[in-house]
Structure 1
């Protein structure tokens, strides 16, 4: 087999566990590893018939489904690059990703036809292929029926690009992080080792697979080990609890908000959770109330820290240490090194705050089309600069003490203020704007906009929301707009966001 990347995984699984359930979906949907491998190879033949070849980018816009997994593995089998798109993005954001990635084909769920029509009204779309048949359009299912299984025979190396995942940009535009086959393989191995993933695991995928955390630290490790994925199209706490009980789910990944919503659901106390033994959580620290609610059911979290550029593994706190090291994001994952360094690259001793830097085989290859940003992201000796501030304790556990990039994390979604501020500058009447994160009991943080307005202008939350609707994903739209006489600034004119947070986020 020439494929040393992800594309060979399912063929190898077909040999080892052909009749094992790989995917469970819908009411009674089930695909074994043999069926999944065969379907993926047929899908690769379909993509090739659409002109996809080595190095091409295949974009995917859709919810969690077998189609997502099949399209991913079919793409990489051809040596092409998979580009998942966040389904919550507004048409201009989708257009930017399609244009920036130079996608040669767009695979999509028909539920997003209206969104894509809005994109097409302003921008040229690449050829598209729906994941289902309908409206006279042949989709993947009908095309795959006429295709024969068999690996394409394309030589794929570990260093070849496998996916481009877009991360919100610090300067306004999302950047495409290039993840190689090696990156995604090693993040999977790190999760298998740190979370003890086995072939007996049944993982409920409540987080969307277009997020690199759900894909790289949830779906891929389970498939590599020959476990079973239960695919949920969207998250609803009651449905998630029912699926845990029905399928005897052993593994669950989410963000604090999803775990909170499950614990607050009326069915929480009566749902059989005895099968669960792996809960992983990222995005932000788990509140004590939620830790307690799950501990009362005999459950503990493995919490962690990472970013798109690390595919996204970084550190993890073993469940047994979740109380003793509460507030920490954990130890470096197995095949990974993490250091805290000063501005000169000197590793700092325990307790001293510096920049968190990462080195290892799951660190990305760079940003697409952005050589200067790529160069700036690495130190002279090759460590990735996270931009986050932190320190390690005497036991080597990492604590995050600040985000130097001002990133906001709302319900597990990353929001970079610059992206929102660039659009706020176009709101009629807004003279200047700064976006900050404000604590929120449900979402962890939500964005607020602090603005100054032109003389005689009237600007409020409603007018800003109406202006931004359709231009930004709704979770990025400020939940409140505060008008001030002037923004605090440094002598050079930079807005002092720390002062704004102290004033409004206290």
Structure 2
């Protein structure tokens, strides 16, 4: 076989795991053999529509079998998969389509109102629609390019397995990560990046071919894809795909399917243990609880430990595919708040401004090196140059996060150099939000900070100075942002101030704002 990438995983699994359930979704169950057949047919359908090695295929949809079928079909052709965040606004989706150069878009029918306007003035030449729910009336006619039904195209494809030459260094996925200067950056994840990340998970986690993983986090996020779905499929386990997180339904699925693995953010696990059916649900099958984004509150730890469960926590980012460190369950109490130890095949260091290692306990920038770390950003040579440090032992990713190692080698995150806000597991970069607010004529100065929130961990708050002679209300600000940004990025509150605290060079002092207004 010449394909050494993700595109051949399911083909190699179809005999090893014959009869084993691969996917459970709204469309029913698929064995590994059935999934392999559908991937081959979809790959043929994509090839018939002009997709060849290196071409980009974008996907806009919630968790579904079609999402994973598209990922593996593009990989089997040597093409590139571009998953899009379904919570973005049309201009943000349009940017990703244009920047990636995607020539084909696959979109679920409920998201056609987002997809249709986003396709205008991009390089998308064709759209396949996945029937999931009802599309808004007349929306199909609004596409500026030919539209076909995904299921019909797949069924018309030939069941022929292509053995295209794909190496581990070849590009597999472009995942857009919010930028600190406004526009997102496309992280270029190779087949090797995602393969080595999966190997890290299999090495550091207790996964087996009998595991049943419930995927409640969206697969268009690297955490759900890289830490959840791909390692389980590589091992030959089963995945349950849920499009939305509903605590009561999740608890019912855990009991019904004897789920062993579940991952999410602290809010996810909090809502589960606070649900009325929590105590009456049989969750004895659960073995692996993985939580990221921020530390798990002690009250949530207590709720799960009272039922014999502990968490695996970790630290990472899109650029590390995403695992950088992991905190084993045995240390969830004694090292509470830690990101954990570096993944088995990944190196992590904390350095001073001269890129020299910091002593134990001293805060510095966190940098990551390993086969799971991307080499560059798509069409962003300046971002690539500024994000990596070349050393004799290889290139180190500058994460922009600050932290320190304790005496036992556990990493603790102390601050975010980039002022990033994490709200319910979603990354929000204030610069992008500030850029939109600053477009209002009445705004003299604006800064967006994170404030604590009981449900989402933190949410954005805008601090605004109004220009002399103008008036501005919170309602006007929020209405201006509606449709321009994903809803989770829109501030939940606005504070109007007379002036901003600034440095000698004129930069706004966000630590001062956080102390005063957060």
Query: Under a length normalisation based on structure 1, what TM-score does the superposition of the two structures give?
Result: 0.97
Q: Which runs of 5+ in 2 are unaligned?
A: 142-146
**Separation in structure 1 between the aligned mates of residue 444 and residue 455 of structure 2, nearest angstrom:** 31
Q: Does 2:463 align with 1:474?
A: no
Q: Does 2:327 align with 1:328?
A: no
- Alignment RMSD, CA only? 1.4
Structure 1 counterpart SS, 2:354? coil
Question: In structure 1, which of residues 214, 230, 236 is the aligned counterpart of residue 246 of structure 2?
Answer: 236
After TM superposition, give the deviation of residue 120 of structure 1 in Å.
Answer: 4.5
Instruction: Tell me whether 456-465 or 283-292 shows the greater mean CA deviation.
Output: 456-465
Q: Which residue of 2 aligns with 1:24?
A: 24
Q: Does 2:162 align with 1:155?
A: no
**Separation in structure 1 between the aligned mates of residue 298 and residue 160 of structure 2, nearest angstrom:** 51
Q: Which residue of 2 aligns with 1:502?
A: 515
Q: Which runs of 5+ in 1 are unaligned?
A: none
CA contact (8 A) 1:91 1:115 kept: yes
CA contact (8 A) 2:449 2:462 kept: yes
After TM superposition, give the deviation of residue 142 of structure 1 in Å.
Answer: 1.4
Q: Which residue of 2 aligns with 1:50?
A: 49
**Separation in structure 2 between the aligned mates of residue 243 and residue 462 of structure 1, nearest angstrom:** 40
CA contact (8 A) 2:4 2:168 kept: yes
CA contact (8 A) 2:216 2:241 kept: yes
Equivalent pairs, count? 504
**Separation in structure 2 between the aligned mates of residue 147 and residue 98 of structure 1, nearest angstrom:** 25
Instruction: Tell me whether 270-279 or 118-127 shows the greater mean CA deviation.
Output: 118-127
After TM superposition, give the deviation of residue 441 of structure 1 in Å.
Answer: 0.7
Structure 1 counterpart SS, 2:365? strand
**Separation in structure 1 between the aligned mates of residue 118 and residue 356 of structure 2, nearest angstrom:** 47
Q: Which residue of 1 aligns with 2:458?
A: 445
Structure 1 counterpart SS, 2:105? strand
Change (3 A) 1:472 1:345: same
CA contact (8 A) 1:461 1:479 kept: no
After TM superposition, give the deviation of residue 123 of structure 1 in Å.
Answer: 5.8
After TM superposition, give the deviation of residue 426 of structure 1 in Å.
Answer: 0.9
Q: Which residue of 2 aligns with 1:61?
A: 60
After TM superposition, give the deviation of residue 152 of structure 1 in Å.
Answer: 1.8
After TM superposition, give the deviation of residue 365 of structure 1 in Å.
Answer: 2.1
**Separation in structure 1 between the aligned mates of residue 99 and residue 292 of structure 2, nearest angstrom:** 28
Q: Does 2:149 align with 1:112?
A: no
Structure 2 counterpart SS, 1:53? coil
Structure 2 counterpart SS, 1:348? coil
Query: Under a length normalisation based on structure 2, what TM-score does the superposition of the two structures give?
Result: 0.95
After TM superposition, give the deviation of residue 140 of structure 1 in Å.
Answer: 2.1
Q: Which residue of 2 aligns with 1:40?
A: 39
Q: Which residue of 2 aligns with 1:464?
A: 477
**Separation in structure 1 between the aligned mates of residue 107 and residue 121 of structure 2, nearest angstrom:** 19
**Separation in structure 2 between the aligned mates of residue 117 and residue 496 of structure 1, nearest angstrom:** 41
The correspondence of residues 218-233 of structure 1 with structure 2, limited to 5 A, is 218-233=228-243
Q: Which residue of 2 aligns with 1:265?
A: 275
After TM superposition, give the deviation of residue 122 of structure 1 in Å.
Answer: 6.8
Structure 1 counterpart SS, 2:23? strand
The correspondence of residues 184-195 of structure 1 with structure 2, limited to 5 A, is 184-195=194-205
The correspondence of residues 310-329 of structure 1 with structure 2, limited to 5 A, is 310-329=320-339
The correspondence of residues 356-367 of structure 1 with structure 2, limited to 5 A, is 356-367=366-377
CA contact (8 A) 1:460 1:482 kept: no
* Structure 1 moving runs of 4+ over 6 Å: 133-136
Q: Which residue of 2 aligns with 1:3?
A: 3
After TM superposition, give the deviation of residue 150 of structure 1 in Å.
Answer: 2.3
